Chains A and B, each alone.
Chain A
Amino acid sequence: MTMASSSWSTWLREPNPASRLQSRLVQAWLSWLRFRRNPLAMIGLAISVALVLMSIFAPLLAPYDPIAQALGNRLLPPGTPGHWMGTDDFGRDIWSRILFGSRITLYIVLLVILTAPVVGLIIGTVAGYFGGWIDQVLMRITDIFLAFPKLILALALVAVLGPGMVNAVLAIALTSWPPYARVARAETLTVRNSDYIAAVKLQGAGAMRVILGHVMPMCLPSVIIRVTLDMAGVILTAAGLGFLGLGVQPPMPEWGLMISAGRKFLFEQWWVATMPGLAIFIVSLGFNLLGDGLRDVLDPRSSGR
């Protein structure tokens, strides 16, 4: 076993990789070693991994059905045997609801990650690479979206589209791409004039190839960092929409919705709103720490050596 692990680690440190795959893995391994040095980033990673595990194994971990009501057990305080986080006003176990709520949070986060940054990256790199009127048009559109507060714009969109989880995700994605476009454009402007872009243009490469193969890989790290830092914001916006009754609909166990429901008993039964609030707080913190750690590892300016 130790033999195997030591040969793996030499394979991962090989200065002369034998294939594209190994070369990429060696780089990833070195980044991981650098990442591991940052204890705060490791905490962030642990929280994010915990969130994923929680949502995958929610049915196994949860002691109760998150939706079934048990009116005999209404508003039990934390520490009650069998309900260590207490129960809400319908007698549902809060811990079970938080576990299942993590699925919804993760679902929203993943959908936003798969849409907003991609749109932002494409618009930003195209605008930055071509410049001129294309840049003007695309960036003015970006400015229009940026001009509205995120939650207000999302509210307006949900009001038009109607409440619901998918529409909430759509609204969040539509409001969160402009910063990525800005970041990608700024990065593209510095990359555009570099010698390695000049070299590939000189080889006859078209704009598509230059943008996709050469400009985007350089913008990706900044966008990824920005995304992880924004995740907290996405979760909060989703929770905000839920809180206002425009996102996920009851009786689904969405964290924002749970806070909203607990608002009524905030002074007497504080745990109903506090527990989901803590969950949002911890997950947001986790993504923020992860983002900070990734910045140290991925930032092209700091990984020059």
Chain B
Amino acid sequence: MSLLSVKNLQVTFNTEAGLVEAVRGVSFELGRERLGIVGESGSGKTMTGRAVLRLIRPPGRIMADAMTFDGQDLMAASEAQMRALRGRRIAMVMQDPKFSLNPVMRVGAQLMEGLRQRDHVSRAVAYAKAVAALDAVQIRDVDRVMEAYPHELSGGMGQRVMIAMMLIPNPDLLIADEPTSALDVTVQAEVLSILDALVRDRGMGLIFISHDLRLVARFCDRVLVMYKGRIVEEIAAKDLLHARHPYTQGLLNCLPRIGGTRGPLPGLDRNAEWAM
């Protein structure tokens, strides 16, 4: 049985300028695997991720024929039931750790807060678990990081702390929304391989949202390509280079390459029938 099943998901925003359809009928199934969602900004990839957690604020509205997580109907769940799911069974890592960590709280305290409040464990146990979590994301000087405030950490370090924090309750599903795009390329590779190993070892489901096709290709099992709120192509990651859909091909071809020709980069044809 699949872990997450989404059928005909729609997200709309009723604004002054009229109705904005951010997601228009997205359906997918997710097992304990790594699913990538790629698309440009405004393609609805982030909204899809947030809609699974029902984290869309008014005037946004979520509609779906069905959205079930491990047998539980997410559309019918109460706000209290959703709160119990969020963080504990479905975790989310955001783009920039600067905005996701509390700036006036030490990292250690933030890591232990959830454990102490949710699971009512003792201070010592919580501390040990927090240290273990930081170890798992390969932070070497754990003691310093535990005592540090978020602004004292580098971007890559902050994002590792975020991942550690999300993984403490051992969730079944991790939604990572552009988890590395605020990081330098060399750090990016490190963080990704850590995330990869954790997901593999713990048998989690992963939804990896990114604008970077190349990153997703290397890192996921299956890829959904989104455009204007719709899925235009679903493809195994290893076949991505041989994608058939013109949009996916366009996304790949428009990237410059080291040692490539100097000619104009091929643009994306947004007027074809699939874009309607």
* A residues in contact (CB < 8 Å) with B: 13, 30, 33-34
Contacts and interface: CB of A to CB of B under 8 A. Distances in A.
B248 to A, nearest CB: 29
Contacts of B1: none
Contacts of A13: 17
B14 to A, nearest CB: 11
A86 B248 CA distance: 79
B119 interface: no
A13 B18 CA distance: 10
Contacts of B17: 13, 30
Interface string B145-157: 0000000000000
B141 interface: no
Interface string B1-38: 00000000000000011000000000000000000000
A30 B16 CA distance: 7
A100 B17 CA distance: 43
Interface residues of B, number: 2
A30 B17 CA distance: 8
Contacts of B16: 30, 33-34
Contacts, number: 5
5 contacts: A13-B17, A30-B16, A30-B17, A33-B16, A34-B16
Nearest to A32: B16
A33 B16 CA distance: 7
B171 to A, nearest CB: 31
A135 B16 CA distance: 41
B65 to A, nearest CB: 29
Closest 5 CB pairs of A and B: A33-B16, A30-B16, A34-B16, A30-B17, A13-B17
A25 B69 CA distance: 48
Nearest to A30: B16
A14 B16 CA distance: 13
Contacts of A34: 16
A34 B16 CA distance: 7
Nearest to A305: B15
A13 B16 CA distance: 10
Contacts of A33: 16
A81 B16 CA distance: 49
Nearest to B15: A305
A111 B138 CA distance: 65
Nearest to B59: A37
A211 to B, nearest CB: 31
A142 B16 CA distance: 41
A54 B16 CA distance: 33
A25 to B, nearest CB: 15
Nearest to B18: A13
Nearest to A31: B16
Interface in B245-270: none
B22 to A, nearest CB: 13
B41 to A, nearest CB: 13
A62 to B, nearest CB: 41
A33 B15 CA distance: 10
B59 to A, nearest CB: 10
A221 B17 CA distance: 22
A206 B17 CA distance: 38
Contacts of A30: 16-17
A190 B16 CA distance: 29
A289 to B, nearest CB: 21
Interface in B223-255: none
Nearest to B13: A305
Nearest to B16: A33
A151 B16 CA distance: 43
A251 to B, nearest CB: 50
A30 to B, nearest CB: 6
Nearest to A29: B16
B80 to A, nearest CB: 29
Nearest to A37: B16
A30 B15 CA distance: 10
A17 B83 CA distance: 46
A6 to B, nearest CB: 15
A246 to B, nearest CB: 47
A13 B17 CA distance: 8
A30 B18 CA distance: 11
A34 B14 CA distance: 12
A148 to B, nearest CB: 34
Nearest to A36: B16
A158 to B, nearest CB: 45
A60 B16 CA distance: 40
A74 to B, nearest CB: 56
A17 to B, nearest CB: 14
B265 to A, nearest CB: 26
A107 to B, nearest CB: 36
A23 to B, nearest CB: 15
Nearest to A34: B16
A279 to B, nearest CB: 35
A244 B101 CA distance: 54
A33 B14 CA distance: 13
B58 to A, nearest CB: 12
A13 B15 CA distance: 13
